Structure 1
């Protein structure tokens, strides 16, 4: 009986009548998410631009981490010395504020082969 009362409450004009919640919720997407409404809401335009640029920079940084760091190995070689020796003498850091010369980096360590 309690369940049928709840089901009958859905047919109340507050929900399904003209100007009710169901009609208001079924219009489509929220304001500011379509190009037409985004042109009208000028205050949302910089927000979308900043969030979009942030997403692009995060994607570029993740690509750089996958492509340039020594933590990820994309080479398939049986000898690990060839794989890890690839970075000897190469700068793989994004910035070098201390001015370290990486051309001789890794040459002085012992070779374990």
Structure 2
């Protein structure tokens, strides 16, 4: 019963007539067209910063999907085989300790 009331509300004069919701929502919001963005100078740096942030987030998600051990793209039967690929590799972004991962890092450590 509630769902049918919602569907009947679509052809209500509040939605369809001049000055209704559909007519008001057909116009783009201020700041969403180039003409209004050129008029509102304060919105330009905001759009640039938000746009750069979205690009960096997308790039980091792609990096996480391709470089870390959390995602396995190879379909091998042996479950330990994908982890052998990362045996002597660095997949961290920063290496403040300066560890050389090209050498066998765990070979010289004493076993506990």
Say yes or no: TM over 0.5: yes
Q: What is residue 88 of structure 2 aligned with on the other side? A: 89
How many aligned residue pairs are there?
Answer: 93
Choose between structure 1 and 2 for higher RCO, CA contacts under 8 A separated by at least 6 residues: 1
Task: Verify: 1:48 aligned to 2:44, yes or no.
Answer: no
* C-alpha separation in 2, matches of 1:106 and 1:64: 26
Structure 1 residue runs of 4 or more that deviate by more than 6 Å after TM superposition: none
Query: 1:18-57 alignment to 2 at 5 Å?
Result: 22=20, 25=24, 28-57=27-56
- Alignment TM-score, normalising by the size of structure 2: 0.70
Contiguous gaps of at least 5 residues in structure 1: 1-9
Q: CA deviation at 1:82?
A: 2.1
Cα distance change of structure 1 residues 70 and 108 upon mapping to structure 2, 3 Å threshold: farther
Q: What is residue 71 of structure 1 aligned with on the other side? A: 70
Task: Verify: 1:98 aligned to 2:106, yes or no.
Answer: no
